[in-house]
Amino acid sequence: MTALDDTPAGPAEAGQVAAPDEAVGARGLLRALLRNRLAAAALVVLAIFVVVAVLGERLAPYGRNEVSSADKLRAPSLEHPFGTDQLGRDVLSRVLIGAEPSLRVGLVAVGIALVAGVVLGLVAGYYRGLVDDVVMRCMDVLFAFPAILLAIAVMAIRGRGATNAMIAIGVVYTPIFARVTRASVLTVREQVFVRAARSIGAGDLRIMTRHVLPNVAAPIIVQTSISLAFAILAEAALSFIGLGTQPPEPSWGRMLADGRGFIQDAWWMAVFPGLAIFAVVLSFNVTGDALRDALDPRQRSAIESAAGRG
């Protein structure tokens, strides 16, 4: 399955993704994940970060932009467990407060890609023919642009900042979701239960949402988890070139990018936000991997996500 492959029976698609009758329920899924010890640990880490993101400011001992030139570049101590940055701000507080913007960029960006990609992929795979050709060729065009550059170009047109970063990252990941969805839809649309629904006169919309979508959910869920990991990294990369979250708002990517010049004098400035990124991204990756083992034994999403790295 490569960028332009149009044949439903490509090598990685020779089998089918989680046959409809096996569609795993949410509880079964969770059980499968918890059986995998690595994935269980990852879920716990993610849960902790979500709590931190929700509580954010209430957990932080200091404010997000409490500068104090007298306290700059202090090493970790009881007063400042993660030290202070070049403006004398408490790094622990900023890491805690930074959880929310960092996760939000990832979630919203992937949310955009998920909705747009799934709708397009569903329509293309369900109707096939001209609609399919037009939609998928458009996705191919989008896919042919290098991801980071596409994001930079989107921001050059729309301006910088967290909102535009989300849109930019979302646009970049849309074609991947469209393809994963379409490929699965192709295998499902000819199944007996879909034909049956059609024969009793169910409308297209109803068939798509009631019968097709639930049965193609597995690879999409896997792709979502992996894309979340990449989206958080992408925000860090955009922050490196100054395009991501804007100061004084503390996103982890921004803090890591700002801390890189201080690595020899004040390692704590970069190491703590860096560890936060590492933990979250690793957790999303491990979860995605475990989900894939459980849901998508033919590894379709592995190929797509490999292709999606820019």
Partner 1 sequence: MIRTPRASALAATVALLAAAACSDGGDDVPVGGEEAGSGGTFVAAISAQPDQLDPHQTTAYASFQVLENVYDTLVVPNPDDLTFEPSLATDWETSEDGLTWTFTLRDDVTFHDGSELDSADVVYTFRRIIDEELQNAYRFATVEDVRAPDPTTVEFVLSEPTPNLLDHVGSYKGVAILPEGAAEDLDLATEANGTGPFRLEDVGADGITLTAFEDYWGEGPGVDEVEFRFISEPTTALTALQTGEVHWTDNVPAQRVEELQGSGDVTVETVPSVDYWYMAVNFARPPFDRAEVREAIALALDREAIADAAQFGLARVNQTAIPEESFWYHDYAPYERDVDAARDLLAEAGVEDLTMGLMVTDEYPETVEVAQVIAANLEEVGITVDIQTEQFSTWLDRQGAGDFDAFLLGWLGNLDPYGYYHSQHVCEGENNYQGYCDPETDELLERAATEADEDARKELYDEAAERIVDANSYIYLYNPSVVQAWTDEVSGYELRPDRAINLETVTLS
Partner 2 sequence: MTRYLLRRVGQSVVVLFGVSVAVFSIIHLVPGDPVRLALGTRFDQRTYDALVARAGLDDPVLVQYVNWLGNALTGDLGVSFRSGRPVTELILERLPATLSLAFGAIVVALLIAVPLGLVSALRPRSAVDYVATFVSQAGISIPDFWLAIVAILVFSLTLGWLPSSGYVGLTEDPVEWARHLVLPAVVVGTVSGAVLTRFVRSSALEALGEDYTRTARAKGLPRRVVIGRHVLRNALVPVVTVTGIQLAYLLSGVVIVEVVFAWQGLGQLALQAVETRDYPLLQGAVLLFAVFFLVVNLVVDLLYAVVDPRISR
Neighbouring residues of 111: CB distance < 8 A, sequence distance ≥ 6: 170
From partner 2, partner 1, none, interface partner of 198 (C-beta below 5 to 8 A by class): none
Asked if residue 66 binds partner 1 (CB under 8 A), the reply is yes
Which region, left, alpha or beta, applies to residue 73 given φ > 0 means left and ψ of -120 to 50 means alpha? left
Q: Which tokens is 199 given?
A: 């024969």
Identified binder of partner 1 from the candidate list 56, 111, 248, 310, rule CB under 8 A:
248
86 contacts partner 1 (rule: CB under 8 A):
yes
End-to-end CA distance of the chain: 17
Q: Is 90 helix (H, G, I), strand (E, B) or coil?
A: strand
With CB cut-offs between 5 and 8 Å by kind, which of partner 1, partner 2, none does residue 148 bind?
Answer: partner 2
The CB-of-250 to partner 1 minimum distance in angstroms stands at 10
Is residue 157 near partner 1 by the rule CB under 8 A?
Answer: no
Distance CA 257, CA 255 (A): 5
d(CA 226, CA 218): 13
Query: For residues 209 and 207, what is the distance between their CA atoms, to the nearest angstrom?
Result: 6
For position 264 contacting partner 2 by CB under 8 A, the verdict is yes
Report the partner that residue 274 touches, choosing among partner 2, partner 1, none (CB closer than 5 to 8 A by kind): partner 2
> Which residue stretch of 24-32, 103-111, 133-141, 161-169 sits at the interface with partner 2 (rule: CB under 8 A)?
133-141
What is the distance between the alpha carbons of residues 121 and 105, in angstroms, rounded to a whole number? 23
Site membership for partner 2, residue 59 (CB under 8 A): no
Helix pair 37-55, 268-295: axis angle to 10 deg: 130
Q: 90 φ, ψ to 5°?
A: -75, 120
Which residues of the chain form contacts with partner 1 (CB under 8 A)? 65-67, 69, 72-73, 86-87, 156, 159-160, 242, 246-248, 260-265
Which residues of the chain form contacts with partner 2 (CB under 8 A)? 1-7, 9-12, 14, 38, 137-138, 140-141, 143-149, 152-153, 156-157, 229, 233, 236-237, 240-241, 253, 256-257, 260, 263-264, 270, 274, 277-278, 281-282, 285-286, 289, 298-299, 302-303, 305-307, 309-310
